[in-house]
Amino acid sequence: MEFKKLEIEQENKGVKTFIQSAHFQRSLIFILMGALGGFGWYYFTEARHMEVFMFSESISSILIGAFLGFFVTNSPCARNRC
In Å, how far are 1, 3, 9 from 6, measured between CA atoms? Answer: 16, 9, 10
Q: Please list, residue by residue across 6-39, b when 16 or more beta carbons sit within 10 angstroms of its beta carbon and e when fewer do.
A: eeeeeeeeeeeeeeeeeeeeebeebbeebbebbb
Higher pLDDT, 17 or 64: 64
Domains of the chain, by residue range, sit at: 24-79
Q: How confident is the model at residue 82 (pLDDT cuts 50, 70, 90)?
A: confident
Residue 7: its pLDDT value, please? 82
Residue 56: its pLDDT value, please? 86
Tell me the per-residue pLDDT of 19-78, one tens digit each, with 9 for 90 and over.
888 889 999 999 999 999 999 999 898 877 877 878 888 899 999 999 999 999 888 887
The CA distance from 15 to 69, in Å, is 22
Residue 34: its pLDDT value, please? 96
Nearest to 57 by CA among 41, 73, 80: 41
